[in-house]
Amino acid sequence: MTPLLEVDRLRISFPRPGDAPLVPVDDVSFALAPGELLALVGESGCGKTLTGLSLPRLLPAGAEIGADSSIRFNGQEITGLSERELRAIRGRRIALVFQDPMTSLNPVMRVGRQIIEAITAHQRVTRSAARERAIALLTEVGIADPATRVDEYPHQLSGGMRQRVMIAMALAGEPDLLVADEPTTALDVTVQAQILELLDRLRASRGMAVLLITHDLGIVAGRADRVLVMYAGRIAESAPTATLFRQPAHPYTRGLFASIPRLDATNARLPTIAGSVPRPDRWPTGCRFHPRCPVAIPHCSVERPPLAEVAPMQRAECWVAQGEHA
Amino acid sequence: MTREARIGVTLGGLLLLLGVAGPIIAPDPLAPMSGPLLHPSLANWFGTDQFSRDVFARVAHGARISLGVALIAVAISTLIGTAAGLIAGASTRSGSAIASRCIDLGLALPRVVVLLVLLAAVGTLPLPLFAVVLGLTGWPGIARLVRGETLRLRHAPFVTAAEALGANTGRVLWREIFPGTLGPVLVAATLGVADAMLLEAGLSYLGLGVRPPHPSWGGMILEAREYLGAAPWLLLAPGVALGLATCAATLLGDALRRSLQPDAK
């Protein structure tokens, strides 16, 4: 199947006057098939949010995409498009759902009005047709009594309902790809599961691809088709979800799994990964994980490993996982 | 509706009624009554002034003039100020710079001095034109406020969210940012009504605004100064009217702000 989205050698940099540019995303490549749910997992500052924002080119001011980077969506190159052409893609082909539903909805606008705004940004429809579609969308995202809720303000809704409204707005343009950036982080655990359930259901019913950006490996299990693990601006490991959970190849991924609390654990202290994520201006040479890596060999600090296959469908950016010994 | 809103609506309604119906039931505001500086009585509800004119009639006629001038002036300055502020806060770099410098220039010129020079140069203006001139000098404050609000909202998460769903600049400005600036603008505008009434009073006193013998509340207050001991009702009647009008404007503004900012407590 031809991929819906192909990201090739994505590099996002922030030029600094009189200094080397900051490169929070460096040489990231991945593909996404239509209807696939791909999870992008990583710690704060690893570049996962910037990667998501770069798809509809919504990067913050000052950010630059590398000259040889390529983002192809449905065969169309995104990196060279004008603002005007991008607006036709934003919401219509690629829609974003942000982390915080408390601040991502306009507090002075009724939620129905906000969904209608998202509809009319791309389609010419009558007022009553738009309202009916807004109610239908609210029904689709599982909001009870949508005919009443449509006329309410965001502060009258719970956090989970607001995130459902955000998703309804994102669905308004009938996108082919939904980028959800930490969509459940601000929500209660029980509500988190419901929202993920909803995303999974919408993907199935609409054939829509979903890029789920999260720091939580736990919410990935059982839902994502594939997982990309990001570390320090690069993809450390890429594997089908089941493979990744069964046999993580990269020491960083293994560290992440080890630091998830387990109910049957007997040891009192939770294992952690020593040290912290380096800042984008202090990235180590060679493999970026080697200063924190428990299995590092001399080669790791000298040369950066390629992202190469270590098992069928599983790729890891690690010399050791690729079979080298000290 | 809150109790404050109801009080504001009632007060505002009574003052408008005073302006609309008062002159019909009251005597001619320029015609002499039975004597000067008479105490309030059944014949002359608020007494008479130094020229034997009925104070109630003058307050009622003054309502039309004072409120009318202030409302027109504030409407004009709010419109200009909001437009300038939105452009300064949200448009492209060059457009924003031009609008911002215009606002700075407007803020740097003291309003009273500009009005004095202008009115001294052109002489007495017809009332509607006087209101327009008052409005044309009042916009920079509103513009500064709107610019600040726009800059604050420009990068609010919900604006980014709207852009992520394909909203263009005009849509973002008009649908997402403008409604958010309305609250502070309305508060500023209601205060501006009181300000405009006082400014009109001061200019009228200097013979540059509403000319005697036509009554305006501000003019009446300033005239009453000389008779403060002998006839305090001369000051009290327009003064209380001015106070109540300011009160009504503020309460109405607050009520409007609440209805526009639904999450305000």
Q: Which residues of A touch B157 (CB under 8 A)?
A: 98, 100, 103-104
- Express each pLDDT in B166-178 by its tens digit: 888 888 888 889 9
> If you average pLDDT over every residue of chain B, what do you get?
84
Look at A96 and B161 and tell me if their CB atoms are within 8 Å.
yes
Contact (CB<8Å) A108/B156: no
Does any CB of chain A come closer than 8 Å to the CB of residue B260? yes
Mean pLDDT of B33-62: 79
Question: Residue B17: pLDDT above 80?
Answer: yes
**Contact status of A73 with chain B (Cβ, < 8 Å):** no
Alpha-carbon Rg for chain B in angstroms? 22
Question: Which of A64, A99, A194, A113 lies closest to B161, judged by CA?
Answer: A99
CA distance A193 to B170: 37
DSSP 8-state secondary structure symbol assigned to residue B246: H
pLDDT per position as a tens digit, A191-215: 888 899 999 999 999 999 999 999 8
Percent of chain A surpassing pLDDT 90? 67
Q: Strands, E, within chain A: which ranges?
A: 5-16, 19-32, 37-41, 64-65, 70-73, 76-77, 94-97, 177-181, 209-214, 226-231, 234-240, 308-311, 314-316
Q: Looking at the complex, does the CB of residue B102 fall below 8 Å from at least one CB of chain A?
A: no
Q: Is A173's CB within 8 Å of B171's CB?
A: no
Q: Give the containing element (helix H, strand E) for A302.
A: helix A298-302
pLDDT in tens, A307-320: 999 999 999 999 99
The closest of B57, B10, B62, B18 to B247, measured between CA atoms, is B10
Compare all CA atoms of chain A with the CA of B260 and give the residue at the minimum distance. A108
pLDDT tens, position by position, B104-117: 898 898 888 888 88
Q: Note the pLDDT of residue A264.
A: 74
- Residues of B in Cβ contact (< 8 Å) with A154: 263
Cβ separation A58–B156 shorter than 8 A: no
Which residues are registered as beta bridge partners of A315? Answer: A238, A309
The mean pLDDT value for A99-115 works out to 89
B265 confidence band (pLDDT: 50, 70, 90)? very low
Minimal CA separation from B163 to chain A, in Å: 8
Q: Which residues of B touch A156 (CB under 8 A)?
A: 262
Shortest Cα–Cα distance, A155 to chain B (Å) = 6
Contact B157 A103 (CB under 8 A): yes
Query: Which residues 140-179 of chain A have a CB within 8 Å of chain B?
Result: 153-156, 166, 169-170, 172-173
CB-based contact B166 A166, cutoff 8 Å: no
Cβ-defined contact of B161 to A166 (cutoff 8 Å): yes
Region B141-148: mean pLDDT is 92
Nearest Cα of chain B lies from the Cα of A309 at a distance, in angstroms, of 35
**Contacts A88 to B, Cβ<8 Å:** 166
Residues of chain B in contact with residue A109, where contact means CB-CB under 8 angstroms, are: 175-176, 179
What would you report as the CA-atom Rg of chain A, rounded to the nearest whole angstrom? 21
3-state secondary structure of A69: coil
Region A153-171: mean pLDDT is 92
- Closest partner CB to A91 (pick from B156, B160, B166): B166
Interface test with A, best of B93, B159, B165, B172 (most A CBs within 10 A): B165
Chain B 150-189, residues with CB within 8 Å of chain A CB atoms: 156-158, 160-168, 171, 175-176, 179-180, 182-183
Q: Does A239 contact chain B (CB < 8 Å)?
A: no
- Do B158 and A170 lie within an 8 Å CB cutoff? no
Average pLDDT estimate for A176-199: 89
pLDDT at A265 over 70: no
Q: Which residues pair with A28 in a beta bridge?
A: A10
Asked if the model's pLDDT at residue A246 lies above 60, the reply is yes
Beta pairing class for A234-240 and A226-231: antiparallel
The residue-averaged pLDDT of A83-109 equals: 90
Write down the pTM of the prediction.
Answer: 0.81
* CB-CB neighbors (< 8 A) of A118 in chain B: 162, 165-166
pLDDT at B259 over 80: no
Distance in angstroms (rounded) separating the CA atoms of residues A237 and A315: 6
Mutate to test the interface with B, among A57, A83, A108 (most CBs of B within 10 A): A108
How large is the ipTM?
A: 0.82
Residue A101 is predicted with a pLDDT of: 82
How many angstroms separate the CA atoms of A5 and A155, rounded?
36
Find chain A residues with C-beta within 8 A of B179's C-beta.
106, 108-109
Sign of the CA dihedral with B181 first, then B187, B193, and B198 last: negative
Q: What is the mean pLDDT of residues A81-107?
A: 90
Partner residue opposite A103 with nearest CB, options B156, B168, B176: B156
Query: In this structure, which long-range contacts are made by residues A277-284, counting pairs with CB atoms below 8 Å and at least 24 apart in sequence?
Result: A277/A43, A277/A44, A277/A45, A277/A46, A277/A231, A277/A232, A278/A232, A279/A45, A280/A22, A280/A23, A280/A24, A280/A45, A280/A232, A280/A233, A281/A19, A281/A20, A281/A22, A283/A232, A283/A233
Mean pLDDT of A257-285: 80
Share of chain A above pLDDT 70, in %: 98
What's the whole-number mean pLDDT along residues A34-40? Answer: 94
pLDDT value, residue B55: 83
CB contact under 8 A, A98 and B182: no
